[in-house]
Structure 1
Amino acid sequence: MGPCHRVLHPLSLLVQAAMLAEALALGALPAFLPCEFQQGGLVNCNWLFLKSVPHFSAAAPRGNVTSLSLLSNRIHHLHNSDFVHLSNLRRLNLKWNCPPTSLSPMHFPCHMTIEPNTFLSVPTLEDLNLSYNSITTVPALPNSLVNLTLSHTNILTLDHTSLAGLHALRFLFMDGNCYYKNPCRGALEVAPGALLSLHNLTHLSFKYNNLTAVPRNLPPSLEYLLLSYNHIVKLVPGDLANLTALRVLDIGGNCRRCDHARNPCVECPHNSLQLHPETFSHLSHLEGLVLKDSSLHTLSPKWFQGLGNLTVLDLSENFLYECITTTLAFQGLARLRKLNLSFNYCKRVSFAHLHLAHSFGSLISLEELNMNGIFFRSLNENTLKPLTHLPLLHTLHLQMNFINQAQLSIFGAFPGLHFVDLSENRISGTSELTVTTGEGNDWEQVQLWSRDLALAPLDSSGSEDFMPSCRTLKFTLDLSRNNLVTVQPEMFSNLSHLQCLSLSHNSIAQAVNGSEFRLLTSLQVLDLSHNKLDLYHGRSFTELPNLKALDLSYNSQAFSMQGVGHNLSFVAQLHTLHFLSLAYNDIHSRVSQRLCSTSLRALDFSGNAVSRMWAEGDLYLHFFQGLRGLLRLDLSQNQLHILLPRTLDNLPKSLQLLRLRDNYLAFFNWSSLVLLPNLKVLDLAGNQLKALSNGSLPNSTQLQKLDVSSNSISSVVPGFFALAVKLQVVNLSDNALKTIESFWFGPLAGSLKTLDVSANPLHCACGAAFVDFLLEVQNAVPGLPSRVKCGSPGQLQGRSIFAQDLRLCLDEAFSWDCFGLSLLAVALGLTVPVLQHLCGWDLWYCFHLCLAWLPLRRGAHALPYDVFVVFDKAQNPVADWVYNELRVRLEERRGRRALRLCLEERDWLPGKSLFENLWASVYGSRKTLFVLAHTDRVSGLLRTSFLLAQQRLLEDRKDVVVLVILRPDARRSRYVRLRQRLCRQSVLFWPHQPSGQGSFWAQLGTALTRDNRHFYNRNFCQGPTAE
């Protein structure tokens, strides 16, 4: 280490210490990096691609951590010390870290290693999830464990020692350890009595494990036993003999109906699940029983004897299409509340009629009945007659039954009905039904495929800001996805109490005139979306005096017809209407010039072409102005390129929410927000804004939430948000911001509740100021440790902004400043001595001093000597020639090109051994010069030096040997003759004639200053090459 380095090293330490002190004075980093600490003591480390369990710093409040989630990482090895520092840890989720090969998305092999004391070191652990990990045995677990999940692993054996000592365990889940997605050679093996010592176990799940029998000697404390989708095809009373506390039993999918299977299926060997009549007789506490997908053709009343407490019964996906018309099995189930009979159809057959058995009338507590997919074509008063007197029945599912004739008036006879689902049928009208008793007309053969039987969910209600749901209303009828072409008043006779009606996804193409729904005097919500309505009459829907919400979205066919006008004046006559949707109708011309309503609170006008309407001069400028009580307006996807102040000025002054998502706005006049004095929420997401400029948010605005996500914003003017004192939520995510500055917000920053800056390409330069600002408001930034990432420089792209502490690394600008100051100091240090000597002699002396110094500058790796001279000191003529000829010529007479010679008697260090000096001389010189009187019988120091030079040739691939032979006429050895042939310039002979000595010294200088590789004869070899 040179003297300069010894001086600068303490200085660099001082600079780093100063930077560290400055960083510590700033806001503290999130305590649990790279994870996020959330409410309730949860540390969220999900989806961070971690390869080991993070060890949080001692400064973090590790004692507050009660839950740790490491879901979907790449942790393959768990050490004894991984969780020792979390003294209060209760819940640990390690799901999806090292999945079995067949469950891995790329089928990569993986094996998780768990050291013996990994979990034993956490005595407070209560909930452990190790599912979707490639483990083959149950690890050692603390006796405090209450909930254990080992699903989708490679554990195939449970014996008495597997869970020994877990006396507090109540929940055990081991699903999917042996099935078609996670195959094994046999099945999960549970030794008899393996779980008997778990006296507190109440929930046990062994689904999808290829079990062929119920495990023996299960603990009598069990309340929930889930054994679905195994291969248990027979049940006898002894299988469940001691489980008298059982409340829920799921044995569905053990004898499957393969024509309705959505995954690989094996035909049941006996064509039906074999149930002994007294299988469930001793389960008096049973409340839920699942017998779905069991290929049942009949129901034995004896199965349900003694099950007086049964409240939920699932009989779906069986063959009970005939049984449900005659069965007596339901007579003793007075407490049953939910009954599922879905998809009990006959293969390739749909029945003309369906009459439920009279025993359904005994289900006096029934609340919900599911009859989807039984396939009957007509619905009349006899179909559901046994259900009409059930006082608590409120939900009835009749989806996907191919019903083409429906007498809807029958639902008026049900006293407490709240929801009827007739969607996904073929209802087209209400023609009179003729009951046919002929056998030939009772059924119709149809071709069915598994995809036709998939249960389609109802349309999600989405945000209720613009359309309310019907969950809180007393009676809802869903007729969506049928074949209705027209709506006739007679359809709804006896349904005056109906409050919510869905007719979406039909083919209704009529021009509604105000008479179609006259019988529905209590209707509050009407959904006519995804139809072909023609809004021509001015009194449409005026027959509904209590209508509050009307959905007319996706009725674009009539609006797309060129030259046809559309009348929206009916809106003014709906005095109770609060919600209206005209979305995605491609409305652009030939409509009413104004919408008028004093009651309307929310209007969804998205997916139209209001930009074309406003382009027609003043024709539609006041289109929304008549909605004087409007609070929420959605103008998303209206092809807007610009929003002029006069356009905003003609929107209702009462607006509180304005949604302008997914338009083409590249400019927005922020000062025009004063024209909407009550606006609280402005949504500009998905536009083409490049910057938040053109002024700032006005100080008089009531704005509380601003969403400008998914734009291309790269800059924000200072103080843009500062004047909006009521602003609480700002969404800047998915833009092109490279920094987040505190002066954008001013004093407002401390009052923000949410500041979303995720998905921005932040520039993570050293000393980035945005890090300090985000740390100050970190409670308002969602996903700060994991979702806020760097976009540059390249080595940090896509990584968290806390991947390295940007406050401690050296700032590039600061480094350049230091370099400039040091350069100035050096310049002054050289200039001052010159100024002290003004005479020419001093200048001349300094010039030549520098001129003499410059050629001698060498790199940090330069060798101390140019030539190590080896000769036999015992030969006086040779020694005399070396000291008086060679030394003088090479060191004294070459001037600035003088060579540094290493001579034994002059340059070897006393106190070192001969070999140490010899090694240092050979390896510390660019060339090794051998001065020989003859070439035979070389020994001693000459021989050793030659061997070291040869060793250097082998190690460093550098040929450093140069031979000078003082007696040319002496006998030459074979090595010298070979070297002459291969590398002639490295073998020189001292001429006896004085005329040849000048040429000799020139050749010697060349041989000593150039690499020997250049001297090799290319006809024989290429010489040594460096690696």
Structure 2
Amino acid sequence: MGDHLDLLLGVVLMAGPVFGILSCSFDGRIAFYRFCSLTQVPQVLNTTERLLLSFNYIRTVTASSFPFLEQLQLLELGSQYTPLTIDKEAFRNLPNLRVLDLGSSKIHFLHPDAFQGLFHLFELRLYFCGLSDAVLKDGYFRNLKALTRLDLSKNQIRSLYLHPSFGKLNSLKSIDFSSNQIFLVCEHELEPLQGKTLSFFSLAANSLYSRVSVDWGKCMNPFRNMVLEILDVSGNGWTVDITGNFSNAISKSQAFSLILAHHIMGAGFGFHNIKDPDQNTFAGLARSSVRHLDLSHGFVFSLNSRVFETLKDLKVLNLAYNKINKIADEAFYGLDNLQVLNLSYNLLGELYSSNFYGLPKVAYIDLQKNHIGIIQDQTFKFLEKLQTLDLRDNALTTIHFIPSIPDIFLSGNKLVTLPKINLTANLIYLSENRLENLDILYFLLRVPHLRILILNQNRLSSCSGDQTPSENPSLEQLFLGENMLQLAWETELCWDVFEGLSHLQVLYLNHNYLNSLPPGVFSHLTALRRLRLNSNRLTVLSHNDLPANLEILDISRNQLLAPDPDVFVSLSVLDITHNKFICECELSTFIKWLNHTNVTIAGPPADIYCVYPDSLSGVSLFSLSTEGCDEEEVLKSLKFSLFIVCTVTLTLFLMTILTVTKFRGFCFICYKTAQRLVFKDHPQGTEPDMYKYDAYLCFSSKDFTWVQNALLKHLDTQYSDENRFNLCFEERDFVPGENRIANIQDAIWNSRKIVCLVSRHFLRDGWCLEAFSYAQGRCLSDLNSALIMVVVGSLSQYQLMKHQSIRGFVQKQQYLRWPEDLQDVGWFLHKLSQQILKKEKEKKKDNNIPLQTVATIS
């Protein structure tokens, strides 16, 4: 009960302001008057259960200081700024008081009957009050029948002559005399306590037995006929001799837990003037039933052989914070019942197979914070009951010596790789090492019965790719934080590392430089409930990235700009603080979800803030409004629709152009066919006029076959009734036997148009070139463009320009070129037909320039 009240007092004092309990206030049950500058006890209601009056200026407490407070259980009057006087029966109006705290108040006067009437007082705190021996000798605590805990530490008590009334305090269990000036305690001083069983008795930090010469024959056993569950004599500066004498003196008293911490036993490192404990030091405790021995914070350098041989009942041995560098053979001989051995924070550099001989029941060995670099193979093999081995913060480079035990702690060593050993464990703690290859993880995931694996703060960053996952039905928690998994996964290897972990419930992947998650990396984690991905570089998180049954997700301190709220709807708890949110309308959906979701959002709202734009930098997302984003959302949809329409239209237009370009010949045929069908545009002959022929075709006789197939069959009426032109050409229409020049001139002047088919043969044929010149003469005479020049074949501009007559035409007039692609022939013939049918506008002749003169010149 006293422990509970003590805890409650601490909670009230520390957390009062947090829970709305203001200083100098009263809520009906708790009167909180700390730091209120009070000079006397305030009047409170009789319903008060806890009255806190520390840190004030109250000088005097008398019987009339308190009203009758029947329900008051705790009174705090400690830490007054002025000396305190406590008069006779000062607390008689508090009949049910359980805890009285006067600590840290300088008591100027304490009446011997000050505590009378406190029949239910459970705990009395009188630490650091400046009290002398009189408080023990003069019966100040008589009639406190319920008193269980008495704290008289940090006073000025010099001797422990107890008033006989201590013998009647049958409920007394705990007495604290630490940090006084008690240099000597002998049997007759504590005689009133004989026959009692105390749960705690402290004489720590008194320089006990170390500043005076002790006649142990006269002083005898100060704890005769007493049973002490905890005896604290630490911090008294005891040497090996004092410890040995004290052990012999109390040899017939029961002390289940003996605290000898902060001693000066041992040579320390580099000194030999002070002895280390030997087999005689604790020999006197053979019949004291010591189960817990604390020898921490000393200077023991060497654990000598059989130093604890007589402690047959010892279960816990604490040797931490010494200078132990050597463990002699059989140092732990005789400790057949020892279960916990603490050798942490020493100077051990190596361990040998014989070091732990004599510990058949040891279950926990703590060797952390030494300098152990090598351990013999058989060191722990014979410890059949060993359950936990703690080798944290040493210098180990291999673990081949590790036996199959439930809990193995190996963090803070220099492990680069792990040997392939047969290992069985429930917990393996390997953080803060130098492990790099994920093959080590595959190996550890095959350890039978493994429930917790901790690999934080290593260098896991590479993957050989030749490992296959195996089923591990026991693993529940996996910690891989503060590694470099991004480097391994970006090679697209080891994505299957979690495949066999169907029972995994907790996974930590924080601080792994992750830019993205490999596809399906968590798909086999059907039992996963908690996932930490905080402090990475993730920019996007999709619904398929997370396990289906995930409940708690920590995605804080990433680079999520505009997360999709659908990813988080199935969670129970989400931590998304300290991300780099871009607070534009794209984030409006997430902001709305954040304000209405049932998912518990961890962290303060101020930690979920914008980083862009600058005008909103640092503003909490919970403070933002999304009113203006609805119109923009509609506009965004409209813009998107317009974009789709324009894109489709442009695509169709380009596809049409490409199709027409690719199949232009077929398209032209279709066009002409449709034109004939729709407009009844049947081929018709030319209108009658003064010309005998529609056109004169001038070409080399060597090209006749090509001309006939390419042109005549498609244009000349004598070749087909569907053709519309009456053409003239030398092979058919020239008068045999007549002068050739005369035939050419007749053909030119009797045709509406002259079509010269200029080919390589044409350029070599003098008659063709002569005909071309006559045709030009007609053009000049009629002032029209009756001459149509068609270039056939791959003749270059340079080849055409070599001939004077053709050069002048090419420089001033446009000409046609026979198409290279056959599908363009139809279109070309149509264009040629249009040129033949084209009528020239009559030009007004200038009377000052006779036509004959121009013709003669040409």
**Structure whose alpha-carbon radius of gyration is higher:** 2
1:718-733 aligned at under 5 Å gives the runs none
User: Is 1:399–1:421's contact at 8 Å kept on the other side of the alignment?
Assistant: yes
Alignment partner of 2:589: what SS? coil
Q: Relative to structure 1, is the Cα distance of residues 204 and 400 closer, same or farther in structure 2, using a 3 angstrom cutoff? A: same
Alpha-carbon distance between aligned partners in 1 of 2:214 and 2:18, rounded to the nearest angstrom: 44
Among 639, 643, 652, which residue is 2:540 paired with?
A: 643
Alpha-carbon distance between aligned partners in 1 of 2:154 and 2:177, rounded to the nearest angstrom: 8
Tell me the CA shift for residue 650 of structure 1. Answer: 2.3
* Aligned residue in 1 for 2:306: 356
Among 568, 574, 580, which residue is 1:682 paired with?
A: 574
* Aligned residue in 2 for 1:506: 413
* Aligned residue in 1 for 2:127: 175
Alpha-carbon distance between aligned partners in 2 of 1:379 and 1:288, rounded to the nearest angstrom: 28
Offset from partner CA, 1:557-596 (integer Å, 9 cap, x none): x64xxxx656695664645332211101133223335133
User: Is 2:333–2:359's contact at 8 Å kept on the other side of the alignment?
Assistant: no
* Aligned residue in 2 for 1:265: none
User: Is 1:483–1:507's contact at 8 Å kept on the other side of the alignment?
Assistant: yes
Q: Please state if 1:555 is matched with 2:458.
A: yes
Q: Please state if 1:487 is matched with 2:373.
A: no
Scaled by the length of structure 2, what TM-score is found?
Answer: 0.59
* Aligned residue in 1 for 2:509: 605
Q: Relative to structure 1, is the Cα distance of residues 281 and 582 closer, same or farther in structure 2, using a 3 angstrom cutoff? A: closer
* Aligned residue in 2 for 1:201: 147
Alpha-carbon distance between aligned partners in 2 of 1:528 and 1:601, rounded to the nearest angstrom: 19
Alpha-carbon distance between aligned partners in 2 of 1:158 and 1:170, rounded to the nearest angstrom: 19
* Aligned residue in 2 for 1:53: 24
Alignment partner of 1:201: what SS? coil
- Matched AA of 1:122: L
- Matched AA of 1:269: R
Alignment partner of 1:323: what SS? coil
Aligned residues: 569
Offset from partner CA, 1:470-508 (integer Å, 9 cap, x none): xxx971110001111x1142x23xx33x10000111122
Alignment partner of 2:51: what SS? strand
Alignment partner of 1:477: what SS? strand
Q: Relative to structure 1, is the Cα distance of residues 77 and 314 closer, same or farther in structure 2, using a 3 angstrom cutoff? A: same
Q: Relative to structure 1, is the Cα distance of residues 588 and 41 closer, same or farther in structure 2, using a 3 angstrom cutoff? A: closer
Q: Please state if 1:426 is matched with 2:371.
A: yes
Offset from partner CA, 1:810-850 (integer Å, 9 cap, x none): xxxxxxxxxxxxxxxxxxxxxxxxxxxxxxxxxxxxxxxxx
User: Is 1:52–1:78's contact at 8 Å kept on the other side of the alignment?
Assistant: no
Q: Relative to structure 1, is the Cα distance of residues 333 and 663 closer, same or farther in structure 2, using a 3 angstrom cutoff? A: farther
User: Is 1:229–1:252's contact at 8 Å kept on the other side of the alignment?
Assistant: yes
Alpha-carbon distance between aligned partners in 2 of 1:83 and 1:565, rounded to the nearest angstrom: 72
Q: Relative to structure 1, is the Cα distance of residues 363 and 75 closer, same or farther in structure 2, using a 3 angstrom cutoff? A: farther
Among 18, 26, 32, which residue is 1:70 paired with?
A: 32
Q: Please state if 1:130 is matched with 2:65.
A: no
Tell me the CA shift for residue 43 of structure 1. Answer: 13
Among 580, 589, 592, which residue is 1:694 paired with?
A: 589
Q: Please state if 1:385 is matched with 2:333.
A: yes
Alpha-carbon distance between aligned partners in 1 of 2:581 and 2:252, rounded to the nearest angstrom: 70
* Aligned residue in 1 for 2:789: none
Tell me the CA shift for residue 426 of structure 1. Answer: 1.1
Tell me the CA shift for residue 81 of structure 1. Answer: 5.2
Scaled by the length of structure 1, what TM-score is found?
Answer: 0.50
Offset from partner CA, 1:401-449 (integer Å, 9 cap, x none): 2111223686697444332111111111125999xxxxxxxxxxxxxxx
Gap runs ≥5 in structure 2? 1-7, 267-275, 380-384, 611-618, 626-858
Tell me the CA shift for residue 341 of structure 1. Answer: 1.6
Tell me the CA shift for residue 636 of structure 1. Answer: 0.9
Alpha-carbon distance between aligned partners in 1 of 2:547 and 2:154, rounded to the nearest angstrom: 59
Tell me the CA shift for residue 116 of structure 1. Answer: 6.7
- What value does the CA root-mean-square deviation take over the aligned residues? 4.2
Offset from partner CA, 1:906-963 (integer Å, 9 cap, x none): xxxxxxxxxxxxxxxxxxxxxxxxxxxxxxxxxxxxxxxxxxxxxxxxxxxxxxxxxx
Q: Relative to structure 1, is the Cα distance of residues 161 and 275 closer, same or farther in structure 2, using a 3 angstrom cutoff? A: farther
Tell me the CA shift for residue 384 of structure 1. Answer: 1.4
Tell me the CA shift for residue 373 of structure 1. Answer: 2.9
User: Is 1:686–1:710's contact at 8 Å kept on the other side of the alignment?
Assistant: no
User: Is 2:457–2:483's contact at 8 Å kept on the other side of the alignment?
Assistant: yes
Among 424, 434, 439, which residue is 1:537 paired with?
A: 439
- Matched AA of 1:544: V
1:731-746 aligned at under 5 Å gives the runs none
Alignment partner of 2:293: what SS? strand
Alpha-carbon distance between aligned partners in 1 of 2:529 and 2:466, rounded to the nearest angstrom: 20
Alpha-carbon distance between aligned partners in 2 of 1:379 and 1:315, rounded to the nearest angstrom: 20
* Aligned residue in 2 for 1:596: 498
Q: Please state if 1:371 is matched with 2:319.
A: yes
- Percent identity between the two aligned chains: 20
Alignment partner of 1:235: what SS? coil
User: Is 2:76–2:101's contact at 8 Å kept on the other side of the alignment?
Assistant: yes
Tell me the CA shift for residue 150 of structure 1. Answer: 1.2
User: Is 1:342–1:371's contact at 8 Å kept on the other side of the alignment?
Assistant: yes
User: Is 1:406–1:430's contact at 8 Å kept on the other side of the alignment?
Assistant: yes
Tell me the CA shift for residue 69 of structure 1. Answer: 6.5
Offset from partner CA, 1:296-322 (integer Å, 9 cap, x none): 2232344223313x2211122224443
Alignment partner of 1:219: what SS? helix
Tell me the CA shift for residue 608 of structure 1. Answer: 1.5
* Aligned residue in 2 for 1:213: 159
User: Is 1:425–1:481's contact at 8 Å kept on the other side of the alignment?
Assistant: yes
* Aligned residue in 2 for 1:227: 177
User: Is 1:513–1:541's contact at 8 Å kept on the other side of the alignment?
Assistant: no
Alignment partner of 1:75: what SS? coil
Alpha-carbon distance between aligned partners in 2 of 1:656 and 1:634, rounded to the nearest angstrom: 11
User: Is 1:49–1:74's contact at 8 Å kept on the other side of the alignment?
Assistant: no
Alignment partner of 1:588: what SS? helix
User: Is 1:478–1:501's contact at 8 Å kept on the other side of the alignment?
Assistant: yes
Offset from partner CA, 1:114-161 (integer Å, 9 cap, x none): 797553332222222233332523373223323211111222543314
- Matched AA of 1:504: S
User: Is 1:80–1:115's contact at 8 Å kept on the other side of the alignment?
Assistant: no
Alignment partner of 1:555: what SS? coil
- Matched AA of 1:54: S
Q: Please state if 1:282 is matched with 2:216.
A: no
Tell me the CA shift for residue 42 of structure 1. Answer: 12
Gap runs ≥5 in structure 1? 1-36, 57-61, 99-109, 179-183, 258-267, 435-472, 615-619, 716-733, 741-1027
Tell me the CA shift for residue 334 of structure 1. Answer: 5.6
* Aligned residue in 1 for 2:549: 654
Alpha-carbon distance between aligned partners in 2 of 1:685 and 1:412, rounded to the nearest angstrom: 54
Offset from partner CA, 1:500-525 (integer Å, 9 cap, x none): 000111122x223533xx2x33x111
User: Is 2:509–2:533's contact at 8 Å kept on the other side of the alignment?
Assistant: yes
User: Is 1:93–1:128's contact at 8 Å kept on the other side of the alignment?
Assistant: yes
Alpha-carbon distance between aligned partners in 1 of 2:86 and 2:621, rounded to the nearest angstrom: 49
User: Is 1:684–1:709's contact at 8 Å kept on the other side of the alignment?
Assistant: no
Q: Relative to structure 1, is the Cα distance of residues 328 and 383 closer, same or farther in structure 2, using a 3 angstrom cutoff? A: closer
Q: Relative to structure 1, is the Cα distance of residues 201 and 227 closer, same or farther in structure 2, using a 3 angstrom cutoff? A: same
Among 221, 232, 235, which residue is 1:293 paired with?
A: 235
Tell me the CA shift for residue 689 of structure 1. Answer: 5.7
Tell me the CA shift for residue 602 of structure 1. Answer: 1.9
1:604-643 aligned at under 5 Å gives the runs 604-610=508-514, 612-613=515-516, 620-640=518-538, 642-643=539-540
Alpha-carbon distance between aligned partners in 2 of 1:246 and 1:158, rounded to the nearest angstrom: 29
Offset from partner CA, 1:372-403 (integer Å, 9 cap, x none): 1342223466221221x22xx32211112211
Alignment partner of 2:80: what SS? coil
* Aligned residue in 2 for 1:820: none
Alpha-carbon distance between aligned partners in 1 of 2:215 and 2:581, rounded to the nearest angstrom: 64
- Matched AA of 1:235: V
Q: Return the structure number with greater relative CO, CA threshold 8 A, min gap 6.
A: 1
* Aligned residue in 2 for 1:164: 116
Alignment partner of 2:485: what SS? coil
